[in-house]
A and B are shown apart, each in its own frame.
Chain A
Amino acid sequence: MKALAGNANSPPSREVVEISIFGPGIGECVVIHLTGNEWIIVDSCLERKTRLPIALKYLNDLGVNPAADVKLLVITHWHDDHISGASDILAACQNARFVCSDALRCEEFTQFVNLYSQRGFLEDTGVDEFNKIFEVLKERLKSGKLQLSEPGWAVADRRLLYLPQDGRIAGTEVFALSPSDATITLALREIGDKLMPKPKTPKRKAIAQRPNHVAVALWVTVGDLHILLGSDLENYMDDRLGWEAILLSSSRPHGRALVIKVPHHGSSNAYCKRMWQEMVTPDPIALLTQFASGVKPLPSEADIERIKTHASKIFCTGSPSGKSPIRRNPAVDRTIREFVRTRRSVIGPMGHIRVRIPVNATIEKSSVELFNGAREV
Chain B
Amino acid sequence: MPSVPEIEAASIVVLGSFNPAIFHPLWFKMNQLIRPEEAESAKLEVTHPQISIFSLEWCRLQVDTGRFIVEVTDRASFGLISDLVLGTFTILDQTPITALGLNRSMHFKMDSREKWHAFGHMVAPKEVWSKIMARPGLSSLIMEDPRETPEGFLRVKVEPSGRIDPGIFIEMNNHYNLDKKSVPDMLQILTNSWKDILKKAEDFSDYLLERAEQCETR
Chain A CB within 8 A of B82 CB: yes
Per-residue contact bits, chain B 59-82, to A (CB 8 Å; 1 contact, 0 not): 000000000000000000000001
Count A-side interface residues using an 8 Å CB cutoff.
3
Complex-state Cα separation, A143 to B82, whole angstroms: 38
* CB <8 Å contact, B32 and A120: no
Q: Specify which chain B residues have a CB less than 8 angstroms from the CB of A121 in the assembled complex.
A: 82-83, 86, 191
Least CB separation from B79: chain A residue? A121
B83-99 interface code vs A (CB 8 A; 1 in, 0 out) = 10010000000000000
Measured CB to CB, the nearest residue on chain B to A120 is B191
Q: Does A294 contact B (CB under 8 A)?
A: no
Residue B139, interface by CB 8 Å: no
Count chain B residues whose beta carbon lies closer than 8 angstroms to a beta carbon of A.
7
A120 CA to B83 CA, complexed, in Å = 11
On chain A, the residues within 8 Å of B188 by CB distance are 120
Grouping DSSP codes into helix (H, G, I), strand (E, B) and loop, the A interface class, with mixed when no group exceeds half, is loop
Q: How far is the CA of A190 from the CA of B154 in the complex (A)?
A: 47
The 0/1 profile, CB within 8 Å of A marked 1, for residues 22-56 of chain B is 00000000001000000000000000000000000
Scan B158-190; emit 1 where CB is below 8 A from any A CB, else 0: 000000000000000000000000000001100
Whether A199 is near chain B, meaning CB under 8 Å from some CB there, is no
Shortest CB-to-CB span from A173 to chain B, Å, is 44
B residues in contact with A167, CB < 8 Å: none
Q: Which residues of A contact B191 (CB under 8 A)?
A: 120-121
Judge whether A144 is part of the interface by a CB distance below 8 angstroms.
Answer: no
Cα–Cα distance between A202 and B82 once the two chains are bound (Å): 17
A120 vs B188: C-alpha distance when bound (angstroms): 7
Q: Type the 1/0 row for A195-219, where 1 means its CB is closer than 8 Å to any CB of B.
A: 0000000100000000000000000
Smallest CB gap from A122: residue in B: B191
Chain B residue, CB-CB nearest to A118:
B184
B187 to chain A: closest residue by CB: A120
Q: How far is the CB of B116 from chain A (nearest CB, A)?
A: 28
Q: How far is the CA of A202 from the CA of B187 in the complex (A)?
A: 18
How far is it, in angstroms, between the C-alpha of A6 and the C-alpha of B86 when the chains are bound? Answer: 51
Whole-angstrom distance between the Cβ of B84 and the nearest chain A Cβ:
11
Q: How far is the CA of A121 from the CA of B82 in the complex (A)?
A: 9
In the bound complex, CA of A121 to CA of B188 (Å): 9
Bound CA–CA A155/B32 (angstroms):
43
Q: How far is the CB of B33 from chain A (nearest CB, A)?
A: 11
* A202–B33 alpha-carbon span in the complex (Å): 11
- 8 A Cβ contacts from A32-82 to B: none
With contacts A120-B187, A120-B188 taken as known, whether A202 is within 8 angstroms of B32 at the C-beta atoms is yes
Minimum Cβ distance to chain A for residue B70 (Å): 15
Taken together as a complex, chains A and B put the C-alpha atoms of A120 and B82 apart, in Å, by 12
With A and B bound together, what is the CA distance between A202 and B191 in angstroms?
18
Would you give the shortest CB distance from A224 to chain B, in whole angstroms?
Answer: 52
Q: For window 115-134 of chain A, which residues contact chain B by CB distance below 8 Å?
A: 120-121
Known A120-B191, A121-B83; 7 more pairs at CB < 8 Å: A120-B86, A120-B187, A120-B188, A121-B82, A121-B86, A121-B191, A202-B32
